[in-house]
Chain A
Amino acid sequence: MTFNWRRWLNTLSPVIALFVVFELFVLIAPSSFATARNMEMIARQTTIVGIAALGMTLVIISGGIDLSVGSIVALSTVVIAWLLHYAGAGPLTAALGGVAAAAFFGLLSGVLITRLKVVPFIVTLGMMLVVRGAAKGIGREQKIDVDPAQLRWLDELLASVPKDRSWMLLPPGVWIMLFLAIAMAALLRYTRLGRHTFAIGSNEQTARLCGVAVERVKVLVYTLCGALGGLAGLMQFSRLTVGDPTVAVGLELNVIAAVVIGGGSLAGGEGSILGTLVGALIMTVIASGCTQRGYPNWVQEIITGAIIVIAVALDRLRHRRTT
């Protein structure tokens, strides 16, 4: 087989874009930017959005969208804190409980979308408020504090790697994200669920004609997205060490932006895990670079917004040329 340059270039183009953005900041930001320490920090800061974006990639490939992710992250932190504080659960049980609660709401979105035949945008918009409300209810509209002694390993997930464990290179949370990313990429490419997700996003009618259990696949996709949102919530909790029902407001938009910058199409049928991770990284690199350069927050926001539009415009341009 001949080596297909164009295909590789297409797959790698988001990575190249990331490299360009990174190098740009290396040039203009202080010399501390290109250090290993800073890169570790970028990886750590990407983890929450990155993990949530893995699930969102699946949803967007299937032609849907999930606006409830931000709320689900908050819910997950609250449930974890509640289990630790009130139920006296161990860290693992609490973490699993948070993820399960998140997966339940993902499942609920999926069921509502397929049973009521209401578009995902509306269902998950409603779910965004429902879940946020539920999180506030559980926390009685307040943060749930947790006794530091109960945390054990929970606060180490995203902490900088201590000297005595430098063999780990990256904090465990980042490793979890990378492992999940590989698993998701394999799921999309090598399993029937993955191929069916692409088919539904590309043309739902064709999928139905070909005997794909469209409803079941969609429910699974939203459940997975919820569960990954819950895991992102676990990372968020690890960082805050409190259950905060008001955290991650608007996070879903960052998550969607990561998928879209990485080549996902809101029309469905397109998207990749590698692209999504790169999309999430690009946003963190910009944020980090701007902070180190001393730009105020509003400049960061303008740059990030511009990058989203430019990335998608370039992607369309590339498409027009290849097809």
Chain B
Amino acid sequence: MAERIDSQKPAIRLQMQGVSKRFGATIALQDVGIEVAAGEVLALVGENGAGKSTLMKVCSGAIKPDAGLMRLDGVPFQPGNPLEARRAGIAMIYQELSLTPHMSVQENIMLGMEPSKLGVVLWKQVRQRAIEAIKEFDNPELTPDARVSRLSVGSQQLVEIARALAIGCNVLVLDEPTSSLTQQDVERLFEIIGRLKKQGKAIVYISHFIEEVKRVADTVTVLRDGRVVGSKDVKAISTDEIVSLMVGRQVEELYPRSERQAGEVVLDIEDLAGLHKPKSASLTLRRGEVLGIAGLVGAGRTELLRSLFGLEPVRKGRIKIGVYTGPASPVKRWMQGAGLLSEDRKEEGLALSLSVSDNVTLSKLKGFGPFGLVLPSRQDKATKRWLEALDIRCRGPQQSVQSLSGGNQQKVALARLLQHDVDVLLLDEPTRGIDVAAKALVYKLINALASGEAVPALRLAGILPAVENKGKPDDVYRDSPHRQPKAVLMVSSYLPELMGVCDHVAVMCRGKLGPTYRIDEVNEHELMLEATGK
């Protein structure tokens, strides 16, 4: 399998030159060129909508470019559809895995190319080839007969990679491969990428995590607005430089921090336990405070927020939100002034086929018309303020949410909490899968909400909508519902973000929530150790 590679001049595996593509009036790609050599990892970075996905769709035959040339191992190549590209040796591993969960590992690996005779599948060969493909990975969970739905997300991804290798793909495109992986699975994936490199595969690695890119890639190409704005050796460029290239300007302080004044306790839980997770969790959250919960995926952080919010059963423990004690349904929680931002935008957070306006106002359809009626025009009016304030890019409040980019979708989900004007914000992975600019806005917003007095300034800066001035200029903020600082409980798997945004942080490990630390008492390393249970 391994090929001899001339160490002086590795062969260019995949070459794209002058690729351009327009969709109507928008230019998605303009004169883009990339090159990946055998045994090289090229990182493709850029904000959402910069053209990464379009470029890779061109490469995998899902989109026909308007202009441009592609070569695969020096041979001109023009895939008409994804299947042709796959046969030619280009495999895409998408963020959303494309496996059939009810079938076994071997069936998934050989799906669509089962060796057969007269239409009868030759199971011996299937098994043999599957074993060959997975033995590289050296993962005890991966056996040919294991049902895919029982595997961890990380192992499922390996099945997908094995499938690509089994057809003999030499170019692998990994699109955000680590966004739903645990730290251990990420390490394992990096190790496998290392091995694939040695075998002379060419790898295109798309990611939002610049730290990862710096670790795993050899060269990095930055896309912005459909053009290549920089292409450099990873060792010769700093993280800050990459970020600046991505956003096209110097990023100001990513994690702003105004003075925050801790007020009364608004959320108090003691020894909370759910059906399976969490096993025990105690914490206290005050107004004007951001409390972060760190931990690995699957530690029970999401379940903690969900049982707090009444979406999952509470077995024992005490919950107090504001003056209300005891478990309550989501209907009640919203009324009590708490709101939850789901970690899973597509499955739970948003009703994708509905409009932006419906999604923003869904939790409180009151006050949009006389006699309890809901007038769409008034919903739109309320929504428009948030479109401007949060810089949500869309054609208007009536556009359906599914056609927005990830960052804009997340802003819509956040706008719901702001529109409802909740006092306790439960944010589950608020920056998952969104670009740097959108992340910066989320951080800014959390800071503004937690430090009540910063909100007027933000309103002037257009981050929050202006309040109608009824009386003297001094009254502008007196009636404002946003004057009071809010309390934020935030779950994140990204430690730098927790360190940057939170006042306090606690770690969840195997369903148990540890003690709460002041953010200046701890460092990332210690948190990671606690999260992995060491």
Which A residues contact B (CB, under 8 angstroms)? 189-192, 194-196, 198-199, 202-203, 205-213, 269-270, 323
Chain B residues bordering chain A, tally (CB within 8 A): 33
Among A195, A205, A270, contact of B358 (Cβ-Cβ < 8 Å): A195
A323 touches B333 (CB 8 A): no
CB<8 Å pairs between A and B, sample of 10:
A190-B373, A191-B373, A196-B365, A205-B348, A206-B342, A206-B359, A207-B351, A209-B340, A209-B349, A269-B354
Q: Report chain A residues within 8 Å CB of B402.
A: 323
Among B348, B358, B363, B372, contact of A211 (Cβ-Cβ < 8 Å): B363
Distance between Cα atoms of A196 and B351 in the complex (Å)? 11
B373 touches A199 (CB 8 A): no
> How far in angstroms is the closest Cβ of chain A from B432?
16
Of A196, A202, A211, A270, most buried by chain B (CB within 10 Å of CB) is A211
Closest to A194 in B: B374
Distance between Cα atoms of A189 and B365 in the complex (Å)? 12
Which B residues contact A (CB, under 8 angstroms)? 311, 329-331, 333-335, 340, 342, 347-354, 358-359, 362-363, 365-366, 369, 372-376, 400, 402-403, 416
Of A196, A206, A270, most buried by chain B (CB within 10 Å of CB) is A206
Closest to B335 in A: A211
Q: Report chain B residues within 8 Å CB of A210.
A: 330, 334, 362-363, 416
A-B complex: 7 closest residue pairs judged by Cβ atoms = A202-B351, A211-B334, A203-B351, A210-B363, A205-B348, A210-B362, A206-B351
Q: Report chain B residues within 8 Å CB of A209.
A: 311, 330, 340, 342, 348-349
Among B331, B333, B353, B374, contact of A213 (Cβ-Cβ < 8 Å): B331
Q: Report chain A residues within 8 Å CB of B376.
A: 189-190
Q: Report chain A residues within 8 Å CB of B311.
A: 208-209
Given contacts A203-B352, A212-B362, contact A191 B347 (CB under 8 A): no
> How far in angstroms is the closest Cβ of chain A from B92?
21
Chain A contact residues, majority secondary structure: helix
> How far in angstroms is the closest Cβ of chain A from B474?
36
Distance between Cα atoms of A189 and B376 in the complex (Å)? 8
6 additional contacts (CB under 8 A) given A189-B376, A202-B352, A206-B351 = A190-B373, A192-B372, A202-B353, A203-B350, A206-B362, A323-B402
Distance between Cα atoms of A192 and B364 in the complex (Å)? 9
A190 touches B330 (CB 8 A): no
Closest to B373 in A: A190
Q: Report chain B residues within 8 Å CB of A211.
A: 329-331, 333-335, 363
Q: Report chain B residues within 8 Å CB of A191.
A: 372-374
Q: Report chain B residues within 8 Å CB of A203.
A: 347-348, 350-354
A198 touches B348 (CB 8 A): no
Q: Report chain A residues within 8 Å CB of B362.
A: 195, 199, 206-207, 210, 212
Distance between Cα atoms of A189 and B368 in the complex (Å)? 12
> How far in angstroms is the closest Cβ of chain B from A259?
17
Closest to A319 in B: B353
Distance between Cα atoms of A199 and B365 in the complex (Å)? 12
Distance between Cα atoms of A128 and B254 in the complex (Å)? 61
Distance between Cα atoms of A207 and B359 in the complex (Å)? 9
A205 touches B373 (CB 8 A): no
Of A189, A191, A209, A213, most buried by chain B (CB within 10 Å of CB) is A209
Distance between Cα atoms of A202 and B359 in the complex (Å)? 11
B354 touches A202 (CB 8 A): yes
Distance between Cα atoms of A210 and B358 in the complex (Å)? 11
Closest to B403 in A: A323
Closest to B365 in A: A192
> How far in angstroms is the closest Cβ of chain A from B344?
8
Distance between Cα atoms of A216 and B315 in the complex (Å)? 25
Among B331, B349, B354, B403, contact of A199 (Cβ-Cβ < 8 Å): B354
> How far in angstroms is the closest Cβ of chain A from B368?
9
Q: Report chain A residues within 8 Å CB of B353.
A: 202-203, 269-270
Distance between Cα atoms of A195 and B340 in the complex (Å)? 20
Distance between Cα atoms of A114 and B374 in the complex (Å)? 26
Q: Report chain A residues within 8 Å CB of B349.
A: 206, 209
Distance between Cα atoms of A191 and B416 in the complex (Å)? 19
Q: Report chain B residues within 8 Å CB of A198.
A: 351, 354, 358
Of A208, A210, A270, A323, most buried by chain B (CB within 10 Å of CB) is A210
Closest to B309 in A: A209
Q: Report chain A residues within 8 Å CB of B358.
A: 195, 198-199
> How far in angstroms is the closest Cβ of chain A from B145?
31
Distance between Cα atoms of A170 and B351 in the complex (Å)? 41
